[in-house]
Structure 1
Amino acid sequence: MGMTLAEKILAKASGKKEVSPGDIVMAKIETAMVHDITGPLTVNTLKKEGIKKVWDPEKIVVLFDHQVPADSINAAENHILMRKFVKEQGIKYFYDIREGVCHQVLPEKGHVVPGTVLVGADSHTCTHGAFGAFATGIGSTDMAAVFATGELWFKVPETLYFNITGELKPYVMSKDVILHIIGEVGADGATYKACQFGGETVKNMSIASRMTMTNMAIEMGGKTGLIEPDEKTIQYVKNAMKKHGTEKPFEVIKADEDAEYEEVFEVEVNDLEPMIACPHNVDNVKAVREVAGTPIDQVFIGSCTNGRLEDLRIAIKIIEEHGGIADDVRVIVTPASREVMLKAMEEGIIQKFYKYGCVVTNPSCSACMGALYGILGPGEVGVATSNRNFRGREGSLDSEVYLVSPATAAACAVKGEITDPRDL
């Protein structure tokens, strides 16, 4: 019996000819990432264990994105700790407060390549599976082990395959597809599974749209999200490495034709509507029209799920076509990276957001965490393009968060209430 994409990558990384679900393997890590929240925990663990040197300073990426600029004395102290660590260890790839969200910056800078194992001390590291890598989030203590040895053990996961077919209608985006899937599978329906997305719809998606899909694999419990690399993937990776001087060889790995999946889901999207995850669970998914008319206080467009250029483009297009945003709604826009911000400025997108009264922040995690900008107060309702809406995620325990696509978020901003973009 052949192997799935996840199995083949883990087999290669562990030096085995083949592996099967349930096997325990020790895999070599190609890229390891920490940010300003998880990095200090990793560094302190290394110090506690007496580890003096990391295994490879060129395979570690350190990035600040959660509390940038520092929003407290504690955050500033964490930044100081990590800057010192980077210098002491000679870590080549360090991105300070200016670059943006880790899951956008890593592929932009050429640190994500197909056929490898990538770990990050952040749960949404599964985003990078969009490039055909086995990418997964790990804890800071496990990351300390990776920093010390360059290896980590994994249980080989079963794979759920989502065969997505059909053509998305106008104002229906990949975010609507993944919300629909999570609503069907449930928040724990893919626990410790590899979630692989394929089919004609995925092939037709941009890299940015694919990243939205894999980003949210963790929201149904997935160990990783995966998309088999194609020419779009290869070209993106090569261009990113060339632009930033991070060239390295890589192998495109694909599943065997006779690979065995635990389950195959047929997802037909021709008639898919804009979807919305209602409070307070990501799998509480409905069609937007089912909750249309719900008054809102704030709209957030950004995050590692939907802060990319195509997301900003469609949002400002809708806002501009309908004359701006509602008077009693706050709109926070956060580009996912400095690169996205600069391109959006070149296209006049940022200027237009400002023109219509939106607040545009520096590239960061921003309102997704409710730690830096846009904290919701008691009784307030927020609409967000981010990936989680559990109670207190974006502020008060008594606030509510609805998750939507950038198109739907923009429509909500225009009307001041939950709105299907097709109904404007």
Structure 2
Amino acid sequence: MTGKTISEKILSRKSGQDARAGDLVVCAVDCALGTDGSVPMALDYFAQMGGERLHDPARIVFALDHYVPPSSAKTAGLHQRMRAFAALHGVALHDVGEGIGHQLIVETGRALPGDLVVGADSHAVTYGALNSFATGIGSSDLAAIMITGQIWLRVPQSIRITLTGRLTAGVYAKDIALALAETLGADGAAYQALEFAGPGLQHLELEDRLVLSNLAVEMGAKNGIFPADAQTRAYLAGRTAQAFEAVDPDPDAAYSREIVLDLDALTPRIALPHLVDRVVPLQEAAQIPVQMVYLGTCTGGRLRDFHQARDVLKAGGGVAPGVQLVVTPASREVQDAMEADGTLADFVALGAEIVPPGCGSCCGTCGVIPGDGVNVVSTANRNFKGRMGNASASIFLASPASCAAAAVRGAITDPREITP
């Protein structure tokens, strides 16, 4: 019998079984996230299931991030309900303005190598960058976990993503993710794990890996997972005192396929409206007019992302007339770091609008909504029609640097033209 992938090993450990791809297993959950977009329904299910107390409150986390700030009495009421439940049951709750739940799970050291971490939001896959088996679940799953501490899963097959070489100037992690979406399509990895490997990993910082894991679900993947290394441990140092056991694949692990991507040869990419996998080299979309640029989300709202965008904006002289640049830090920690090193002031001086940490405009539930006919270039992970709250707007997806280049020129532009 062949060896095991990272996902097979983690699910074997969490189920206490010899788990192989295709097996159905019941696993102990290390941490489960719920947001204001999913918890209210989970609380309904919790009551219907006869829930009275939580199996382990320390393993449950709530985040108010989708409706920040709440724009109606209804959404404010959802927040009140979550606060009351969290206080009653001893659940950790990240309140309005603390940031996006996915970013907070990472920052607070709640997703550790070898863990099984889930979230009632599809982009919970983000934590796979830390060597966790991380996946999105539904509200009913969250309710069941709150009561039992367990979840049932089908063990996924794995696709090995081998990265070679090193990114060149003007090319970033988002370009890798979009290139993979271009190769796999929106369902090319359906219910499979993307397991990242290869010598190119040593050149990707933890923030880069978070982008790749985050976008895995846009290819249909169950999860996107990295091996743990010195960068993983360095990021977690000071964020957790909890011991962990990293998981590597066996040398003879079986994969459904392998994709090799040469980072040296990669060029900037952009996803055209209204599909994430409608990806082309950015230069093929050059000169398309842009009226709004959005920097933020659980994909592109970290300090490193804002530094990349700021550098392009500075080199290009700021935001072009007629362009609205909206900046939403992924968390208060990110916002504080931006304020401390001058990045926040730079953005204001260069013509940006600053929005409180949270999901912001990404899902169209709050924040700045684009007008009819507006072309938006965004660091987000989805560009479906109506995604940002207006079905008459068109959303393009690109790296922070490419987004900033569009803000400078008022049209889709290769960032290498501004910062060669």
> Counterparts in 2 of 1:137-152, with a 5 A limit?
137-152=136-151
Asked if structure 1 preserves the Cα contact closer than 8 Å seen for 2:159 and 2:194, the reply is yes
- Residue 3 of structure 1 corresponds to 4
Question: 2:75 matched to 1:75?
Answer: yes
Partner of 1:228: 227
Residue 374 (structure 2) pairs with residue 373 (structure 1): no
Instruction: Work out the CA distance in 1 between the residues paired with 2:233 and 2:158.
Output: 23
Q: Deviations over 1:155-200 (max 9, x none)?
A: 0100001001111111100100010011111000001000111222
* Match in the other structure for 1:20: 20
Matched AA of 1:112: A
State the one-letter code of the partner of 1:219.
Answer: E
Partner SS, residue 367 of structure 1 = coil
Cα deviation code 1:124-167 (max 9, x no counterpart): 00000000000000000111111110001010100001001111
CA distance in 2: counterparts of 1:53 and 1:106, whole angstroms: 23
Aligned-partner Cα distance in 2 for 1:250–1:150: 19
Within 5 Å, which residues of 2 pair with 1:114-263?
A: 114-241=113-240, 247-263=241-257
State the SS of the aligned residue for 1:402. Answer: strand
Distance 2:196 2:248 in 1: 13
TM-score of the pair, normalised by structure 2: 0.98
Paired residue type of 1:421: P
Partner of 2:46: 46
- In structure 2, the residue corresponding to 1:270 is in which secondary structure? helix
Which sections of structure 2, spanning at least 5 residues, go unmatched? none
**What SS does the aligned partner of 1:366 have?**
coil
Q: Please give the alpha-carbon distance, in whole angstroms, between the structure 1 residues aligned to 2:265 and 2:246.
A: 33
What residue identity is the alignment partner of 1:182?
A: A
Deviation readout 1:203-243 (Å, 9 max, x if unpaired): 211110100000000000000010011111122223211xx
Deviation (angstroms), 1:49:
1.9
Task: Give 1:59's aligned amino acid.
Answer: R
- How big is each residue's C-alpha offset from its partner over 1:352-376, in whole Å with a ceiling of 9 and x where there is no partner? 1111110011111011112212212
Is 1:401 matched up with 2:395? yes
Structure 1 ranges of 4+ moved more than 3 A:
none
Aligned to 1:347: 341
Indicate the residue corresponding to 2:353 in structure 1.
Answer: 359
1:415 alignment counterpart: 409
- Equivalence for 2:32: 32
Question: Are 1:112 and 1:237, in contact at CA under 8 Å, matched by a contact in 2?
Answer: no
Conservation of the 8 A alpha-carbon contact between 1:377 and 1:395:
no
AA of the residue aligned to 1:415: R
- How far the C-alpha of 1:249 sits from its partner, in A, is 2.3
- In 2, distance between residues paired with 1:74 and 1:137? 25
Give the letter for the 1:186 counterpart.
G
Find out whether 1:391 has 2:390 as its counterpart.
Answer: no
Contact 1:300 1:385 in 2 (8 A): yes
1:58 counterpart SS class:
helix
User: What is the SS of the residue equivalent to 2:201?
Assistant: helix
Equivalent pair of 1:26/1:154 in contact (CA under 8 Å): yes
Superposition map of 1:273-312 within 5 A: 273-312=267-306
Which AA in structure 1 matches 2:7? Answer: A
Shift of the alpha carbon at 1:202?
Answer: 2.1
Q: Residue type matched to 1:36 in 2?
A: D
TM-score by length of 1: 0.97
Q: Is the 8 A contact 2:70 2:366 kept in 1?
A: no
Counterpart code for 2:330:
A
Q: CA deviation at 1:389?
A: 0.4
What SS does the corresponding residue of 1:418 show, helix, strand or coil? coil
| Contact 2:329 2:358 (C-alpha < 8 Å) held by counterparts | yes
Structure 2 counterpart of 1:145, which letter?
Answer: A
CA distance in 2 between counterparts of 1:276 and 1:153 reads: 37
Deviations 1:289-329 (A, max 9, x none): 00100001100001000100010001111111121110110
Is this contact kept in 1: 2:33–2:61, CA < 8 A? yes
Alignment correspondent of 1:330: 324
- Contact residue 126 and residue 213 of structure 2 kept, 8 A: yes
Distance 1:148 1:139 in 2: 15
Task: Find out whether 1:320 has 2:314 as its counterpart.
Answer: yes
Identity %: 39
Deviations 1:367-388 (CA, angstroms, capped at 9, x unpaired): 1112212212221110000000
Could you tell me which amino acid in structure 1 is paired with residue 265 of structure 2?
D
Using the alignment, how far apart are the partners of 1:185 and 1:49 within structure 2? Answer: 39
Q: Please give the alpha-carbon distance, in whole angstroms, between the structure 2 residues aligned to 1:235 and 1:147.
A: 31
Could you report, residue by residue, the CA deviation over 1:239-290 in whole angstroms, capped at 9, with x for unpaired residues? 211xxxxx32221111111111111111112121110000110000001100
In the aligned structure 1, how far is the partner of 2:229 from the partner of 2:373? 46
What one-letter code is carried by the residue in structure 1 that aligns with 2:180? Answer: I
